[in-house]
Chain A
Amino acid sequence: MSEEFEPNIVAFLCNWCSYAGADLAGTSRMHYLPNVKIIRVMCSGRVNPLFLVNALQQGADGVLISGCHPGDCHYLEGNFFARRRFTLMRNLMEHVGVDPGRVNMSWVSASEGAKFQDVVAEVVEKAKEAGPMDQFRRRQLNW
């Protein structure tokens, strides 16, 4: 293919901060890369690391989990649990040879539309470097 590789990014954004941040980026007419597919969850602590594995199986080239800044969680401590989980999951992925750039996490608050724009650009850049995710993608999607 002569076309440049455009990665698919699945983003799990928490309802209270990051999703509102992405919304702010949109309403302020900031352009963020269209590679990102946003899934709204109520808290970053709700994201099971299984989602991440599953997303990579089903065609994502990178995953972004984003929540409130530590201490700002709407549910007080959800993002602290998420941080521990994804630190470990990222290391595990790295251990089996998955590019660590495919697993990303960020803290984006509701007022940081510009930061969301930057985060998405960085995630897409990393996924482009890592190339298409072909290690354990499902071969028969509609099986």
Chain B
Amino acid sequence: MVDNKTLQNKAREVISRDDVRRLIGWKRGTFGFEAAPAVIKDPSGADDLIFDATCVNNLASFITLEEKPPVPRGEEPDTRKTAIMVKGCDSRAIVLQLVEKAYERDDVIVLGIPCSGVIDRRKAREMFGDVAGAVEATCEGDKLVCEVGGEKKEVDRKELVMDKCLRCRYPNPVISDELLGDEVEKFADDDFSDVAEFAKKSPADKWAFWDEQFSKCVRCYSCRSVCPMCYCVECVVTNLRPQWTRRSTDISENTAYHLQRAWHLSGRCIECNECERVCPVDIPIMTLNRRMTRDVKELFDYEPGVDVETEPLLASFNPQDPEEFIM
């Protein structure tokens, strides 16, 4: 894992360049187990930047989030670059955004950081309860050393990191202009055992499960807003004309929303788990996305966000695609 001094020096060097407008990184949060995203625009801000196991946010969504007001007459648009710090999973979002031509490769400077797992705040809360101050957490081999309220606690890494980290195949960024820190080894291969486990349920049980989960949804659209791949300017669920999903939060519209969201992410989800992390009512959204990821891999042998040269899954086809269910 990169130490903060190296990271800050590199950030200072990058933001000082004339062709860089902003740098997106992490800084210490105000409380709990999550670092805060930080956008710095001049070298003085670089001292705040950090990277450790609390840096859960996928910053790739911030690149496309920026509002671009019309440029006043006579002025030139600002074409300077955006520098961004990415973990392994975040870098896949960058690759996929490049595949979909959300921006050009020259518009971003990717500072890759090999990552050895980030903390799941739900697991951390169970372990430590509510924490008043910001927590520092560093990875030392198989242990996570957390500094909670001035006290150092050593925890087994497997117990505290997010589930996605336990099956992470890409801890090292797949795309980067500069790699900060040494590469780490991948943890495990993804066997999709959780998907297979869920698929064993009967249709009635499945629906009973999702009925309960979707009924909780308050349609805050956090999962959509935080998703690095949901960057459409106009979204089908908020459009009023035509209005495909109505705005009431009943089971019918909630199900329609979640089916749409999951389907729009089929072959595009890079499994950063952000949707599930931000959900205020703890809907296991990734259970939907994981099924899609598995099917895409099994049926079409496609893995999103690994290679910049590939075509998007649903914008391409193979004449020999499987069609067992077609009459």
Contact = CB atoms under 8 A, between A and B. Distances in A.
Contact of A88 (B198, B236, B296, B315): B296
B292 A88 contact: yes
Q: Give the interface SS of chain A, mostly helix, strand, loop or mixed.
A: helix
B291 A92 contact: yes
Interface in B241-292: 244, 246, 248, 250-253, 255-256, 258-260, 262-263, 266-267, 288, 291-292
B210 interface: yes
Given A84-B317, A84-B321, A135-B207, A96 B259 contact: yes
A100 B326 CA distance: 12
A135 B292 contact: no
A12 interface: no
Contacts of B319: 70-71, 80
Nearest to B295: A91
Given A81-B317, A97-B206, A105 B325 contact: yes
Contact of A97 (B208, B251, B263, B317): B208
A50 interface: yes
Given A88-B266, A92-B292, A97-B208, A136 B326 contact: no
B288 A105 contact: no
A71 B244 CA distance: 32
Contacts of A87: 295, 299, 321-323, 325
Interface in B96-155: none
B321 A92 contact: no
Interface string A57-75: 1000000000000110000
What band does the interface of chain B fall in when counting residues whose beta carbon is under 8 Å from A? 35 or more
A83 B314 CA distance: 10
Contact of B314 (A71, A85, A95, A122): A85
Contacts of B318: 80
29 contacts: A50-B244, A50-B260, A53-B260, A54-B244, A57-B252, A83-B321, A83-B326, A84-B313, A84-B321, A87-B299, A87-B322, A88-B267, A88-B292, A91-B291, A92-B262, A94-B203, A95-B198, A96-B255, A96-B258, A97-B205, A97-B210, A98-B207, A104-B327, A105-B325, A105-B327, A107-B326, A107-B327, A136-B251, A137-B252
Interface of A: 49-50, 53-54, 57, 70-71, 77, 80-81, 83-85, 87-100, 104-107, 119, 122, 135-139, 143
Top-4 shortest CB links A-B: A97-B207, A97-B206, A80-B317, A106-B327
